[in-house]
Amino acid sequence: MRRYAKRVAQKVDKLSKEQVETLLDMVLEENEMFDAVMESVNTGLLICDKSGNLLLTNKTAERLLPFNATRVNVAEQRAQATPVWNIIADSDISDFLRSVYDIPKNHTSEEFTLETAGGSVRIIVVTALPLVQKKQITGTLIQIEDVTEARNQQTLLRRMESLASLTNLAASVAHEIKNPLGAISIHIQLIQKALKKARKTDGLLPNSKFVENYLDVVNEEIGRLNKIIVDFLFAVRPIQAKLEPVNPNAIIISLMEFLKPELEKASVELKLEMIEKPPNLMLDVALFKQVIMNLAQNAVDAMKNGGILGIYTQVKNDHFIITVADTGEGMDEKTYNRIFEPYFTTKAKGTGLGLTMVYKIIKESAGEIDVRSFPGKGTVFTISLPVPQKDRRSLEFGGVKN
């Protein structure tokens, strides 16, 4: 219909009055349909011209965006030629929209947290797209989406996941304390028996060290119980992450500098390949150090006769990827399946909590961890951390590996 109307409109001077009326009806109908679509979509839309002046908005945009005025009068805005960033009451969103015009891009998007008048917090994503008409960029289409529910859902899922791992952890602790408790109980029974016997006979115990020996065992087992509880508390302690923008490369490099003597002693050669100009990540420095330390320590432990520890960083699909690879003994399937379990260790002096913590910290930082292991050849741990929205734009200039 649109094409037909266009064709007819070109010959408007040759049309009869009735035909012009029909044509106008068609255009009006089309316009109404366009209005109806604009007003019923769940996405906020703003259309601006090349200088940022507002040409059109819909109700959702007015509901989601904080405007200076309660009601946006597009006709007035057009007459005053005020750019859109000057009529928005949130300075972050204003700055973002202005930057879209300062540095034109095909597609740019950013997330904002807004406090509503009612005191609740909403998360919105603002996306700017070029508006193309007749193969020319004639303005900008700004899209606003409310992602609060989606984000809440993610947090809920993460919480449920940590609750499930807490249940696992509690089960492991119950299992762990069984052995020392059993040993304590047996030794107390032995002491009781000996005391009973002594009372019935001459009052003397089998030998002077008898009770002391059994009590030593009891003491030792109590010490073990204590360690299990302390470790447990350490593992379940809620992580209070103090997130701040940090350069992950710099932290890795300084940690490795610190580990150098230990690596040399273990005949481990270090290979570092870091992405140039890394984006800043929102991380807790102390916890992030703990992750890298644990992985590096495990790698060294796995290379009893020396080998190569490789740490590589790169950016892929808005994620910062850290790879920690070793040329050590690798793991069989049985070990591989259990490495993140609390207290699982194959080492005489291991607590088995190293990777549990690593997993917890990465999940808490909204990241993912993946492991591949090749028995006799080595193991590769891959960590993926999201690059914060506002740092994604700069990636296009810095995504090269040296």
Ligand X SMILES: Nc1ncnc2c1ncn2[C@@H]1O[C@H](COP(=O)(O)OP(=O)(O)OP(=O)(O)O)[C@@H](O)[C@H]1O
Report the interface residues with ligand X, using CB under 6 A.
294, 298-299, 302, 326, 328-331, 335, 339, 344-347, 350-356, 379
- Closest to ligand X by CB, 34 or 258: 258
The span from the CA of 124 to the CA of 66, in Å, is 11
Q: Name the binder of 326 from ligand X, Mg ion, none, CB < 5-8 A by kind.
A: ligand X
The torsion defined by the Cα of 101, 49, 72 and 144, in degrees rounded to 10, comes to -60
Residue of closest CB approach to Mg ion? 354
**For ligand X, which residue has the nearest CB?**
354
Residue 232 CB, nearest approach to ligand X (Å): 13
CB of 68 to ligand X, least distance (A): 55
Element spanning 214, H or E: helix 210-236
Considering the complex, what minimum distance in angstroms separates the CB of residue 361 from ligand X?
13
Residue 259 vs 339, nearer CB to ligand X:
339
Look at residue 267 and give its three-state secondary structure.
coil
Q: Which token pair is 7?
A: 């064709």
From the list ligand X, Mg ion, none, which binds 299 (C-beta under 5 to 8 Å, kind-based)?
A: ligand X
Residue with Cβ nearer ligand X (145 or 329): 329
Size of the site for Mg ion (CB under 5 A): 2
Q: Do residues 124 and 145 touch, judged by C-beta distance below 8 A?
A: yes
Give the nearer residue to ligand X in terms of CB position, either 22 or 351.
351
Based on CB atoms, which residue is closest to Mg ion, 278 or 354? Answer: 354
Edge to edge, what strands does the sheet with 54-57 contain? 54-57, 44-49, 136-146, 121-133, 108-115
Q: How far is the CB of 345 from Mg ion (least distance, A)?
A: 8
User: Which one of Mg ion, ligand X, none is in contact with 367 (Cβ closer than 5 to 8 A by kind)?
Assistant: none
d(CA 280, CA 249): 9
User: 398 near 277, Cβ under 8 Å?
Assistant: yes
Neighbours of 285 (CB within 10 A): 14
**CB under 5 to 8 A by kind: which of Mg ion, ligand X, none does 53 bind?**
none
Residue numbers 297-326 binding Mg ion by CB under 5 A:
298
- CB nearer ligand X, residue 48 or residue 324: 324
Residue closer to ligand X by CB (options 280, 335) is 335
Residue 128 contact, options ligand X, Mg ion, none, Cβ 5-8 Å cut-off depending on partner type: none
Q: Which residues contact 369 (CB under 8 A, 6 or more apart)?
A: 358, 359, 362, 381, 382, 383, 384
Least Cβ distance, residue 350 to Mg ion (angstroms):
6
Closest separation in Å from C-beta 301 to ligand X = 6
Q: Which does 84 bind (CB under 5 to 8 A by kind): Mg ion, ligand X, none?
A: none
Report strand pairing: 44-49 vs 54-57: antiparallel
- Restricted to residues 243-302, the positions that interact with Mg ion (CB under 5 A) are 298
Q: Does 172 bind Mg ion (CB under 5 A)?
A: no
Q: Which of 18-26, 34-42, 242-250, 352-360 is the region at the interface with Mg ion (rule: CB under 5 A)?
A: 352-360
Q: Which does 278 bind (CB under 5 to 8 A by kind): Mg ion, ligand X, none?
A: none
CB of 114 to ligand X, least distance (A): 41
Closest CA to 140 of 84, 80, 93, 59: 84
Shortest reach from residue 316's CB to ligand X, in Å: 22
Query: Residue 104 or 375: which CB sits closer to ligand X?
Result: 375
Per partner kind, with CB cut-offs from 5 to 8 A, the member of ligand X, Mg ion, none near residue 302 is ligand X
Among 248, 354, 367, 378, which residue sits at the site for Mg ion (rule: CB under 5 A)?
Answer: 354
Say if residue 94 is exposed, middle or buried (CB neighbours under 10 Å; 0-12, 13-18, 19+): middle
Residues in contact with Mg ion by the rule CB under 5 A: 298, 354
